[in-house]
Structure 1
C-alpha cells in the first residue's frame, strides 16, 4: 500500500533538500510556474494537437490543449485532495489546493516531449529507426534496451527527459521539479523492455522511461515509495497520475468533437446528441442560447463540469484500490457513460482523424521528418568516423553539426548522439521543422 506522506514529497530532483510547504505559494505551485516559463512549454503553441495549425486560428494547439487539461486537472486534484486529507492527512499542512497544483503541473507538462506533427510524428521516428532508408547498422553497438528506446520512441519518455535533463539546469536536474510532480507526470512508469505488462494496467500500455533517465526515475520511485511490479523496472502509477489521464481524456473526448463541429467535419445534430447524452438532460438555460456555435460551446463547458464531478466520485470510491496498485483501466472508462466515449472515439477516427486534409498534412510531415532525421544521422555518423579514424567529414555534415549543442566538440557514444538527434527533432515546432526542411533541401 502506498503512503500519501511519501507520495507528496516536496524534495526537488537535482537538489538535496525538501522545500517547505507554505500556504501562500507551495512547492507544487512553483512547479507550475517553472513549467509555464520553460521554452519547451512555449514551443507547444506551434505544435499540432489534432488539426494542423494552418487550418484554423480557432482550434487547439498543444499549448491550448495542455492549458485546458491543466484547468480540468486542477479541479480533479483539489476534489481528490479534500478526500485524501479527510482520510489520511488531517493533521498535516497540506490543503486541497496543493493536490490541485500537483495535478495541474503534471497536466501542463503531459505533452511537453511530443515531436512536431502530433502523434504521427512519433510514428515516423519509430519507423525511421526500425525500417527507414539505410536503417541497417543504425543502432550498432547499442544494447537491446537502448534499441527499444528508439524503435518504440515515446513522447511521454521524451517528456520526462525534457523535465529532468534538457531544460534549465541541463544535465543537472532539468527544471528541478518536486518528486511528487515528477511522479504524477509519469503516466507509464516502466522501461521499453518490459515484455508482459500487468493485465488491465493502464500504466503499462506504453513506456515512459528511457535508459538514459532510468537511474533518475529509480531515485524518484524510491523517494515516493511507488510499488514495484515484479523485479523489472516497472512500477505502479502515482495515484494522482490517474487524474492527469482523466483530465486529458475528458478534454480529448469533449473538445475534439467541438473542434470537429467548428471545422465543419461534424454536423450540429450529431455533435449536440453526443453532448446531450453525456449530460443526460439539457442544461437549465440551454434554450436561451440561440447561436448554434455558442450552443455547442455551452454544452462543452457543461459536459466538462459533469465529468469532473463523476471522475472525482470514481477516484473517491477507488482510492484504496489505487493505493494498493490493484486498480484496472482508467477512471473515465469506469463512468456510466463509458460507451459514449467509445462512440466519440470511433466518430473522431472516421470524420476527423482520417479527414483528407489531415492525411495530406501527415504526408508532408512524414517527408519533412524523414529528411531531417536522414540529414542529422549522416552528419553525426560522419563526425563519429572522423573521431574514430580521422576520416574527412562531408562539408555539409560539418555545417549541420553546428546545430547540436557541443555536438562537434566532444566524442559521444552512438546512443548519446542518437539521443541528441531525437532531442533536437522532437523539440522542434511544426514551423521550425518546415523551415529546417526547406533549408536542407535548398528551397527558397
Structure 2
C-alpha cells in the first residue's frame, strides 16, 4: 500500500520504490515505509549523521554558534532537494536521503582537514570524502546485527557515489578511490553513467545551499560587506531590489532577504532548464535517464556564467581570507600530528581501534593501519579532534 501511491504522482523517469534494485543484503521491507523512506531514516539515525553537528564548513566550531555546520548544511540541502523534486515529480525521499548522506565522509575542519588527511594518506591510496562516505554507509556504521553499514538500496548508494556525475572513464593520471573501486567489484554501480535524477537534484541543491550560506556566513563574520557583494552579477540586482523596496532595512534583514531571493532565483532557473532538457530528450524511465550522455538536471548557461564571479569572490575573500587561513593552518597541523602519532604508536589508539587493526592485519601492513587511522580521524568532530590533540600532546591535560 505504501508504495502504490508513488505510481500516480511520479514522473516516468523518476526512481520508483516499487522498481528498486534492492539491497546488497536481502531483508524484509517495512510495511509502513517505502524503501527510500527507510534509507533516509537509517541515515538520520546513524552515528555519522549526528557527528555532523560539530563538523564545520569553513569556521571551526568555537568561532560561534551561528555559522553553518555540516549538519545544518545537510538539512538545508535536503530541504532544497525535496522542494525541487516535488516540483519535477521526482522521488522526494530518495533525493532527501542522498542529500542527507552526501557529507557523511567529511573530516573535522572542513576541506582543510580533508587536504591534510589526503596528504598523509597519499602513500596508502589517498583520502577523499566521497569515498569515505561509502565506507561509512557500507562498513563503518556498525549498528545492525546482520550486516555492517546501513544496507541502503542500490539507488541510494549509487546516488551518493555518483551525485556529481559519472566516475568512469577515468581522466589520465586519475584512479578510482579505493573503497569505491573495491565496492564496484561487489555491486555494480554503473560508474560510467549519470546518476538518477534525484541524485542530480541533490548535487545541485548542494551548490545552491553552499553558495548562499557562504555569502550569509561571510557577511555575518565581517569577511566582506554588503556593498562588495552588491557588485557581483548574481547578487547585486537582488540587493538593489531589496534596498529599493525596503529603504533603510536593517542589515541582518537585508542579508536574509537577499539570500532567500537568491535561493529562489537559482531554484527557478534549475527547474526551468531541467524541464527544457527533459522535454528535449524525453527519457521514458530512470534507466533511460541514466544512460543519456548529458545530465538532465542543470542550471541554464546564463546561471552558470553568473555563478563564476560569485565563486571566485568567495574563494578569494572567504576561503582564502587570512583569518580563515590561520585557523585552517592550525587545523591541518592537528590532523597531521594525530595521523603521525597513531601511525608511529598505534597503542595510543582506543582499545577497540587497536583490536580492529590487529584483526585486519594492520600490525604488519602499514596500508591497513593507515586506513584505520584515517577512519578514526575522519570520524572525529572538530572539538573531539582538538581535545584528542591536547590529550596526546599537552602534558597538563589528563588522558
- Is residue 257 of structure 1 aligned with residue 215 of structure 2? yes
Q: How does 1:111-130 map to 2 (within 5 A)?
A: 111-130=103-122
Aligned partner of 1:433 in structure 2 is: 385
Q: 1:331 aligns with which of 298, 305, 311?
A: 298
Q: 1:70 aligns with which of 78, 92, 100?
A: 78
CA distance in 2, matches of 1:405, 1:205: 29
Q: 1:194 aligns with which of 170, 187, 190?
A: 170
Aligned partner of 2:246 in structure 1 is: 287
Aligned partner of 2:6 in structure 1 is: none
C-alpha distance after superposition, 1:2-61 (max 9, x if no partner): x948775445534325747x7x64322222221112110111111120222222221101
Aligned partner of 1:367 in structure 2 is: 333
Q: 1:47 aligns with which of 45, 48, 55?
A: 55
* 8 Å Cα contact 2:216/2:255 also seen in 1: yes
Q: How far did 1:191 drift?
A: 6.6
* 8 Å Cα contact 2:22/2:154 also seen in 1: yes
TM-score between the two structures when normalised by the length of structure 2 = 0.81
Aligned partner of 1:92 in structure 2 is: none
- Is residue 416 of structure 1 aligned with residue 333 of structure 2? no
Aligned partner of 1:305 in structure 2 is: 264
CA distance in 1, matches of 2:249, 2:309: 27
* 8 Å Cα contact 2:24/2:154 also seen in 1: no
Aligned partner of 2:317 in structure 1 is: 351
CA distance in 2, matches of 1:177, 1:330: 23
CA distance in 1, matches of 2:178, 2:204: 18
Q: How far did 1:425 drift?
A: 0.9
CA distance in 2, matches of 1:251, 1:370: 30
Q: How far did 1:261 drift?
A: 0.8
* Alignment: residue pair count: 370
* 8 Å Cα contact 2:105/2:132 also seen in 1: yes
Aligned partner of 1:90 in structure 2 is: none
Q: How far did 1:102 drift?
A: 0.8
Aligned partner of 1:213 in structure 2 is: 183
Q: 1:236 aligns with which of 177, 194, 199?
A: 194
CA distance in 1, matches of 2:248, 2:44: 35
Aligned partner of 1:86 in structure 2 is: none
Aligned partner of 1:85 in structure 2 is: none
Q: 1:154 aligns with which of 102, 106, 128?
A: 128
Q: Report the aligned-residue RMSD.
A: 3.3
Task: Say which SS state the counterpart of residue 62 (structure 2) adopts.
Answer: coil
- Is residue 267 of structure 1 aligned with residue 237 of structure 2? no
Change (3 A) 1:418 1:46: same
Aligned partner of 1:163 in structure 2 is: 137
CA distance in 1, matches of 2:168, 2:343: 22
CA distance in 2, matches of 1:283, 1:424: 47
Task: Say which SS state the counterpart of residue 302 (structure 2) adopts.
Answer: coil
CA distance in 1, matches of 2:200, 2:178: 15
CA distance in 1, matches of 2:269, 2:28: 34
CA distance in 2, matches of 1:406, 1:215: 27
CA distance in 1, matches of 2:230, 2:334: 38
Bigger relative contact order (CA 8 A; separation at least 6):
2
Q: How far did 1:347 drift?
A: 0.9
CA distance in 2, matches of 1:212, 1:401: 27
TM-score between the two structures when normalised by the length of structure 1 = 0.74
Q: How far did 1:313 drift?
A: 2.0
* 8 Å Cα contact 1:121/1:366 also seen in 2: yes
What residue ranges of structure 2 are gaps of 5+ in the alignment?
1-11, 284-288
What residue ranges of structure 1 are gaps of 5+ in the alignment?
83-95, 131-138, 140-146, 198-203, 230-234, 380-396
CA distance in 2, matches of 1:206, 1:281: 46
- Is residue 407 of structure 1 aligned with residue 377 of structure 2? no
Q: How far did 1:277 drift?
A: 4.5
CA distance in 1, matches of 2:321, 2:21: 46
* 8 Å Cα contact 1:310/1:335 also seen in 2: no
Q: How does 1:377-416 map to 2 (within 5 A)?
A: 377-379=343-345, 397-400=346-349, 402-404=351-353, 406-407=355-356, 409-412=358-361, 414=365, 415-416=367-368
C-alpha distance after superposition, 1:123-164 (max 9, x if no partner): 11222233xxxxxxxx5xxxxxxx4xx33x210110011112
Change (3 A) 1:411 1:212: same
Change (3 A) 1:318 1:169: farther
Task: Say which SS state the counterpart of residue 266 (structure 1) adopts.
Answer: coil
CA distance in 2, matches of 1:106, 1:5: 14
